[in-house]
Structure 1
């Protein structure tokens, strides 16, 4: 498990760590206190992944196409 703050992680890093957390929890070989910490970290990682995906979807949705279907640029997306 990384010590890096979840809020600073890329989507890929958060997803990779989330997969590791889920794997540890599924094996069930972690002490109860550690399982609770892993679950909390996993919840934070899941939220980070969802946030990064939503940001990416908004950026993709902001791409405008011309009459030939070619991208004409990005519209500014509020909050990004």
Structure 2
């Protein structure tokens, strides 16, 4: 079975798989070559999660507020 490309995973999927990778590596019962592959996959999953969190933070930061502090809409963050 081929693993789903990391770029196609949602944040939740990537985080769940990353937790699984960490668990396998911490157990220490994986062969060296498999450990290296798991580590590489884990690094890619970590980056995916960080990128998705950053994107979400930028969206939240772009919410505009009216004079009373109530959200009125969002400002596009594309191009930043």
TM category (shorter chain) comes to over 0.9
Aligned-pair distance for 1:79? 3.9
Indicate the residue corresponding to 1:11 in structure 2: 11
1:78 is the counterpart of 2:78: yes
Q: Which runs of 5+ in 1 are unaligned?
A: none
Q: Which runs of 5+ in 2 are unaligned?
A: none
1:32-53 deviation line (CA, Å, top 9, x unaligned):
0000000000000000000000
Q: How many residues align?
A: 79
Distance 2:61 2:33 in 1: 42
Alignment of 1:31-70 (within 5 A): 31-70=31-70
For the aligned residues, what is the CA RMSD?
Answer: 1.4
Q: TM-score, normalised by structure 1?
A: 0.94
Q: TM-score, normalised by structure 2?
A: 0.94
